[in-house]
Structure 1
Amino acid sequence: MSRLKIIGNYLSPYVRKVLVCLELKGIDYEIDPIAPFVGDDHFTRLSPLRRIPVLIDDGFVLNDSSVICQYLEDSYPAPALYPRDINDRALARWLEEYADTRLADGLIWRLFYQLAIQRHIFGEATDEAVVKQAREVEIPAALDYLENQMPDDGFLFRTLSIADISIASFFRTASFVRYTIDATRWPRTAALVELVQSQPVFQKLARYEDCMLRLPLAEQRAALNTIGAPLSVDTYGTSTPRHGVSRG
């Protein structure tokens, strides 16, 4: 059986979600850790929206992190990352979708993009009004909703699920621009994120993330190779970034 391949950067919350699923299910994979902004024309053919992650399984290509995670669950059902109860499973999928869209709007596309991508990848000025709106309006509104969905303790559905993984993945990326949840205002959400991020699989991936954090894109692959990341031999990356839609 050929090794699964993931195209996508370790710092992406969408990529992290897929990698956590792969790791928990014990699936052998390799990764081409490019940012979507430097994907070549072949990457565009694989991902017509120029989004990450992309999964390639023996020539079968899939886009979108939620589609990929469901495919992995169907193909490798143990351990289950979606609740067995039909109502819980539907709610887990909803919370995954909420994280991928509403939560991501504030944490990633307003905050992280402005403070990290806009500034360091494209060399463009940060729009401080967008950052202020994210911190003061968008993110608090999303957290207010999440807080009402959180359990008093433990995981959302008793064992680690796609919902826990998704939510924690976005706050991990937001931490790279020094965003942390105010535990006095949203204590249950803060506790859940801390619990999930303390899991061995998140800690394993954090080692790769930390080694490339704040390195120029051109230097990240070499840094990952040094610490033994499961890199692909080839890459779809180029040296020139370009704007494009990159939600996964």
Structure 2
Amino acid sequence: MSEPLTIIGNYLSPYVRKVLVCLELKGIPYRIDPIAPFVGNEAFSRLSPLRRIPVLIDGELVLNDSTVICEYLQDRFPGTSLYPADPVRRARARWLEEYADSYLGDVIVWRMFFQKGVRRFLFNEGTDEDVVRRAREEELPVGLDYLEAQLPEDGWLFGEMCIADISIAAFFRNAVFVRYQVDAARWPRVAAFLERAWALPAFRTLAGYEDGMLRTPLPEQRELLAAMGAPLTETTCGDASPRYGLMRLG
């Protein structure tokens, strides 16, 4: 590979985080344009017709959607496999990835993180506290009950860490951003699993960038990331005024 891959997408997005962890675990060099959600310019619209992040650029190839991108990375760089070889386990891993993308995405990203963060600070809109309350007290516990029955006491879901483990851990990082902590007494397997996953170097590296961004105003974030040594692109697509996309992030 002559040039590093390019990723367009924000470090705080769990969909972007999923792709970046895959890149880190596979040792694939990349550059990132860490645009905030909803601020992509017209060049971004041409690359992402649904105006969603992440976007992957590999030479002439442009891909959208985190699941499509991760499957491409596995096919393109098969050396370190992030999908189980057994077809039954592989199918189960893909289902759990989809569960994270869809259910956890709806609850953690849209009903919690978007309401408490993006909606307030990017669009200057008020938080619907009833939506947040239902997410925290009713909807997320349903997901945690399901995952508690799926996750192992130790290690990873299917032996080696795979896309299912990555996806679940990626989404719960955003719950932390809105001060939600998994109750280890009620969901001990989930709590222990997240602790194991977030301790990995791939997640720890990204967490440094994420935590720095959360403490920094939006106009200053790119400068901060450059000072921290993030592998930034030379140019950015994130210089437009915020506007909602055609579909949710994914």
Q: Same fold (TM over 0.5)?
A: yes
Matched, 1:178 2:198: no
Instruction: Supply the RMSD in Å over aligned alpha carbons.
Output: 1.0
Q: What is the distance in 1 between the residues matched to 2:103 and 2:29?
A: 32
SS in 2 for 1:30: strand
Matched, 1:247 2:249: yes
Matched, 1:120 2:121: yes
TM-score scaled by length of structure 1: 0.97
Q: What is the distance in 1 between the residues matched to 2:79 and 2:192?
A: 26
Amino acid at match of 1:176: F
Contact kept in structure 2, 1:36 and 1:246, CA below 8 Å: no
CA positional deviation for 1:36: 2.8
Amino acid at match of 1:70: E
Kindly, what percent of the aligned residue pairs are identical? 62
**Alignment-derived partner of residue 53 in structure 1:** 54
CA positional deviation for 1:92: 0.5
Q: Aligned ranges for residues 25-64 of structure 1 at < 5 Å?
A: 25-64=26-65
Q: What is the distance in 2 between the residues matched to 1:188 and 1:73?
A: 28
CA positional deviation for 1:208: 1.2
- For these two proteins, the number of residue pairs brought into alignment is 248
| Mean CA deviation greater in 238-247 or 225-234 | 238-247
Contact kept in structure 2, 1:3 and 1:58, CA below 8 Å: no
| Structure 2 residues not aligned, in runs of 5+ | none
SS in 2 for 1:6: strand
**Alignment-derived partner of residue 211 in structure 1:** 212
Matched, 1:201 2:202: yes
| Structure 1 residues not aligned, in runs of 5+ | none
Matched, 1:83 2:65: no
Q: What is the distance in 2 between the residues matched to 1:26 and 1:233?
A: 21
Amino acid at match of 2:190: T
CA positional deviation for 1:239: 4.5
Q: What is the distance in 2 between the residues matched to 1:240 and 1:219?
A: 16
Which digits, 9 at most, give the CA deviation of each residue in 1:101-137, with x for residues without a partner? 0111111110000000111111111001100110111
Q: What is the distance in 1 between the residues matched to 2:39 and 2:60?
A: 22
Q: What is the distance in 2 between the residues matched to 1:152 and 1:178?
A: 25
Q: What is the distance in 2 between the residues matched to 1:68 and 1:246?
A: 16
Q: What is the distance in 2 between the residues matched to 1:174 and 1:41?
A: 31
TM-score scaled by length of structure 2: 0.97
Which digits, 9 at most, give the CA deviation of each residue in 1:52-107, with x for residues without a partner? 00000002000000100000000101211101111111100000000000111111
CA positional deviation for 1:246: 3.5
Q: What is the distance in 2 between the residues matched to 1:31 and 1:149?
A: 33
